[in-house]
Amino acid sequence: MSSVKKVTLKSSDGEIFEVEETVAMESQTIKGLIEDDCADNAIPLPNVTGHILSLVIQYCKEHTSSSDSNSSKSNEKLKAWDTQFINVDLNVLFDLIMAANYLNVKGLLDLTCQTVADMIKEKTPEQIRAMFNIVNDFTPEEEEEVRRENAWAFEISLKNNNVVDTFEVEESMAKELQTIKNMIEDNYTDSVIPLHNVTSDILELVIEDCKKHVEAAESESEPSYSLASKLIDDPLKA
Amino acid sequence: MWSNLPSDLLANIFSLLPPDSLARASSSCRHWHTCAKAYPLSTASNNLAWFLAMPIQRNHTLLSCYLHNPILNNWHALSLDFLPDPVRLVGPIGSLVLIRPTISTFLQLAICNPFTRQFRHLPMLNITRTKPAVGVVMVLDSTQSVLFPCFKVFVAGGMSEAEAPRRGATYEPTLEMYDSRRDTWQIVGPMPVEFAVRLTVWTPNESVYSKGVLYWITSARAYSVMGLEIGTNTWVELNVPMAEKLEFATLVRRNGVLTLVGGICGGEACLWELVEGYNWRLVEKMPIEFGIRFLGSKTSWGSTKCVGSDKAIYLYRDLRSGMVVWREVVDKGKWEWFWVEGCCSFGGKQVQTLPIKGVLLQPSLAPSWIP
């Protein structure tokens, strides 16, 4: 039997947890109590329920063993574990933030806060209220003021796709681009092939590039990976 | 539940949000709104500087300025209806913008935060002057924070107003300084007349502060750089590489180092760094495909403007044309070139091709204590 030191934690609803000291010390709050010799009996944690405490302990276990030289847990594996771990409903997430703060477990606090921040990003105030069950408690005057201040964040400009140019190209060249190749092979050749994500100036550059690749292929040199195809196949970059 | 999250935890979450998301979050309820305004955004690496474009319009009140979001690569329009007078942009002061009301010919300065809609005139200068050079120095204080910005504004040269109308107003060879901590201007001392003349005749654009020296570059060929060593109140003059061949030249600060961005007539856009012994070292050239795209149908670099923060350099022309950006990509630890589409339409309406003056700043939704 190993003589690993253990501490006893007691949740608000009376659940008892026996945990290795090193794991418990992931919590700076508990660490302080242990170092001040207040941990001989069960440490009461009146702000944390048993359910949440068991989750916190799970987190601490996973993150303590990662600093153990025997376990070679890569950063990526740990991140994947964190992502899985934090996939909980909002009520649990709220309790986890409060517990991580109260118990002072930095890694867990960062993880939970980042998760909430990611949920907030790019949502409208209405969507935020719906998701987090928040009531709009502004007075009409306050609402007016807030709207005036923040109006800029509610609207974004559209990209300049107004100029519509058509380009006629040989089929062999067009087939350099995987997306268009697929369209052609699906018999989409009756009318103009619309490329919504590409502006005409880029399309011009792309066609130039394709021309070069077709010429290179004809002279039996290796076609290099084309920036052009990357543009068409990756609409976010165009 | 969530609307009652303790302020410090909410502030923690808010510090991870970019300005546009924060603005929307702060519109959801009172508690979140109060918290967003009380705690300034952190200056973590996820909070990049935003490009703010102020249209240059003669004698008309600016209705809006335009903001580029570097993360989502889209534009926002921000109303400037809180400004009492028409203004011109002078330069950034952290999260604030230094502006110059255009109603008077002699220099008057004001500061504003377009996000919190705060505006305040600075006190009048001791010596009234027209067209001087203006420079900003952030005071690196241990108490420095977004809420209590500490900065100094230096005004050098200009033409002084004559008391009785007479021909030939004189160049004003004095240096004045505003200290935000005291909210007063004081005359620092005299300056060499030739610098006062040059700074007035070729009124420069944004100043750059690097390693104890405040630098300005003349606004036209033949370019030269003037520097004021703040600690000793002495002036230096630097030659500019290829001064006769540059069609535009701007100073920026890149990672704390003075950098010159210039476009060579018939050639590329280049960047030089100032190294030991006041020498310039070529560090980068804009890749040709970006140059072609940026210039479009134009054959010269002449209408190019440029601004920089320590981590990014933007080259721009007018509101609708695109921009070329050289920026540090944090994950890769190196600088890369990007193309940014211009701002073309809002709410279904086309945006006019307006000449603009740009500035890079860290948006802050928290009202600063502006004295």
Residues B11-45: pLDDT tens digits?
A: 999 988 989 999 999 999 999 999 998 877 655 54
Flag whether pLDDT at B102 surpasses 80: yes
pTM across the whole model: 0.80
Residue A113 forms contact with B (CB below 8 Å):
yes
**Contact at CB, A162 and B344, closer than 8 angstroms:** yes
Residue A142 forms contact with B (CB below 8 Å):
yes
- B82 CB-contact burial (10 Å; exposed 0-12 / middle 13-18 / buried 19+): middle
Tens of pLDDT along A2-35? 567 889 999 999 999 999 988 999 999 999 988 8
d(CA B257, CA A85): 44
pLDDT at position A223 is 39
Q: Which member of A121, A124, A157 has the closest CB to residue B17?
A: A121
**ipTM score here?**
0.83
Q: What is the largest CA-CA distance in chain A?
A: 83
**Contact at CB, B346 and A157, closer than 8 angstroms:** yes
**Contact at CB, B29 and A134, closer than 8 angstroms:** yes
Q: Which of B168, B240, B166 is nearest to B204 (CA)?
A: B240
Q: A153 contacts in B (CB within 8 Å)? A: 19-21, 23-24, 76
Q: What contacts B6, CB < 8 A, 6 or more positions away?
A: A101
Flag whether pLDDT at B276 surpasses 60: yes
Which residue type occupies A162? Answer: N
B181: distance to nearest CA of chain A, Å?
28
Mean local confidence (pLDDT), A107-135: 93
Q: Which member of B21, B32, B341 has the closest CB to residue A159?
A: B341
Residue B222, preceding bond cis, omega within 30 degrees? Answer: yes
Q: What contacts A44, CB < 8 A, 6 or more positions away?
A: A10
How distant is the alpha carbon of residue A190 from its chain centre? Answer: 42
**Contact at CB, B24 and A129, closer than 8 angstroms:** no
Residue B98: HSE in the Cβ half-sphere, 13 Å Cα cutoff: 25
A179-188, B144-153, B253-262, range with the lowest pLDDT? A179-188
d(CA B324, CA B68): 13
A237: distance to nearest CA of chain B, Å?
10
Provide long-range contacts, Cβ within 8 A and 24+ apart, for B219-228: B221/B246, B223/B249, B223/B262, B224/B198, B225/B251, B225/B260, B226/B195, B226/B198, B226/B199, B228/B135, B228/B154, B228/B156, B228/B175, B228/B191
**What are the angstrom distances between the C-alpha of B340 and each of A159, A227, B158, B226, B273?**
11, 18, 37, 32, 24
Q: Which member of A120, A134, A205 has the closest CB to residue B3?
A: A134
d(CA B302, CA B246): 9
Q: A142 contacts in B (CB within 8 Å)? A: 30
Q: A116 contacts in B (CB within 8 Å)? A: 13
Q: Do the Cβ atoms of A143 and A129 come closer than 8 Å?
A: no
d(CA A97, CA B4): 13
Q: Which member of B13, B67, B72 has the closest CB to residue A113?
A: B13
Residue A162 forms contact with B (CB below 8 Å):
yes
Which residue type occupies B107? Answer: L
**Contact at CB, A150 and B23, closer than 8 angstroms:** yes
Q: Which of B158, B9, B187 is nearest to A93 (CA)?
A: B9
**Contact at CB, A152 and B343, closer than 8 angstroms:** no
A155: distance to nearest CA of chain B, Å?
6
pLDDT at position B150 is 87
Q: B19 contacts in A (CB within 8 Å)? A: 153
Q: A120 contacts in B (CB within 8 Å)? A: 13, 17, 21, 24-25
**What are the angstrom distances between the C-alpha of B300 and each of A9, B241, B306?**
73, 18, 15
Q: A128 contacts in B (CB within 8 Å)? A: 24-25, 28
B161-165, B220-224, B302-306, range with the lowest pLDDT? B161-165
pLDDT at position A237 is 39
Q: A150 contacts in B (CB within 8 Å)? A: 23-24, 26-27
Q: A133 contacts in B (CB within 8 Å)? A: 1-3
| Probe site for chain B from A106, A133, A157 (most B CB atoms < 10 A) | A157
Tens of pLDDT along B173-225? 999 999 998 999 999 999 999 999 999 988 777 899 999 999 999 888 778 99
Flag whether pLDDT at A222 surpasses 50: no
pLDDT grade, residue B57 (50/70/90)? confident
Q: Do the Cβ atoms of B269 and B305 come closer than 8 Å?
A: no
d(CA A213, CA A225): 9
Q: Which member of B3, B116, B345 has the closest CB to residue A157?
A: B345
d(CA A56, CA A62): 10
- What average pLDDT does chain B have? 87
Per DSSP, the residues of chain A read -----EEEEEETTS-EEEEEHHHHTTSHHHHHHHHTT--SSPEEETTS-HHHHHHHHHHHHHHHHTTSTTS---HHHHHHHHHHHT---HHHHHHHHHHHHHHT-HHHHHHHHHHHHHHHTT--HHHHHHHHT------HHHHHHHHHHHGGGG--PBP-----------HHHHTTSHHHHHHHHTT--SS----TT--HHHHHHHHHHHHHHHHHHHTTPPPPPPHHHHHHH-TTT-
Tokens of B106: 């002699």
Q: Which residue of B has its CA nearest to A158?
A: B345
Give the pairing type, strands A6-11 and A43-45: parallel
pLDDT at position B225 is 93
A152: distance to nearest CA of chain B, Å?
5
Tens of pLDDT along A141-199? 999 999 888 989 987 765 544 444 555 666 666 666 666 666 666 655 555 566 656 66
d(CA A211, CA B131): 54
Residue A180 forms contact with B (CB below 8 Å):
no
**Contact at CB, B24 and A154, closer than 8 angstroms:** yes
Tokens of B225: 């750089």
Q: In degrees to the nearest 10, what's the CA dihedral of A83, A88, A93, A95?
A: -130
